[in-house]
């Protein structure tokens, strides 16, 4: 597991707690509550890769949100954070931590996920490095040739 979305673990846990409390108040599953929160972040401009903060002059001028140091709570980070939560709900043991809208089970599942977050056990996105190694001269023994 890796770092996941770059938001402090304690803040992630607080955000998850508020979603779980909302789920318990309407007897919804935690997964449905997280999906609802993620759906609210998935705006039409976000779908197009732009996050509009404000517009003026009938749309002639606008400002867009940019990620950067000290700006953890971007729409992009929240969307990713909610996806982390969904992956952790789906990875949880359904027998020990059922997501069945029972408030006690929701709280147990939230506590288990929060524990994973605090211990750094969060889903890791694809991290791949590609390199060009064609100029490495590896001798092939017995043929007198190099690869």
Phi, psi values for residue 61, rounded to 5° = -130, 145
Six-digit token string for 15 = 């955000």
pLDDT value, residue 142: 60
**Sequential pLDDT tens for the chain (147 residues):** 445 678 889 999 999 999 999 999 999 999 999 999 999 888 776 766 666 666 676 666 555 555 555 567 788 888 999 999 999 999 999 999 999 999 999 999 999 999 999 998 877 644 444 555 555 666 666 655 555
- 67-77 burial: b if 16+ Cβ within 10 Å, else e: eeeeebebbbb
β-bridge pairing 52-56 and 61-64: antiparallel
pLDDT value, residue 1: 46
Shortest CA distance to 36 belongs to which of 51, 53, 48, 22?
A: 22
Distances (CA, A) of 38 to 31, 63, 77, 87, 134: 10, 23, 11, 13, 43
Shortest CA distance to 109 belongs to which of 6, 5, 32, 8?
A: 32
pLDDT value, residue 118: 93
Tell me if 33 sits within 8 A of 103, measured CB to CB. Answer: no
Domain boundaries, the chain: 9-124
The CA-CA-CA angle for residues 130, 134, 139, to 5°, reads 130
């Amino acid at each position: 597991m890796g770092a996941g979305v770059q938001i402090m673990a304690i803040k992630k846990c607080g955000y998850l707690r508020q979603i779980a409390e909302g789920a318990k108040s309407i007897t919804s599953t935690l997964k449905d509550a997280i999906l609802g929160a993620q759906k609210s972040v998935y705006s039409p401009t976000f779908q197009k890769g732009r996050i509009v903060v404000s517009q003026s002059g009938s749309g002639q001028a606008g400002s867009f949100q940019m990620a950067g140091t000290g700006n953890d709570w971007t729409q992009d980070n929240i969307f990713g954070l909610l996806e982390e939560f969904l992956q952790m709900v789906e990875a949880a043991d359904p027998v020990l931590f059922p997501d069945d809208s029972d408030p006690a089970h929701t709280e147990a599942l939230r506590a288990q996920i929060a524990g994973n977050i605090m211990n750094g056990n969060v889903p890791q996105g694809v991290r791949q490095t590609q390199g060009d190694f064609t100029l490495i001269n590896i001798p092939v023994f017995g043929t007198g040739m190099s690869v």
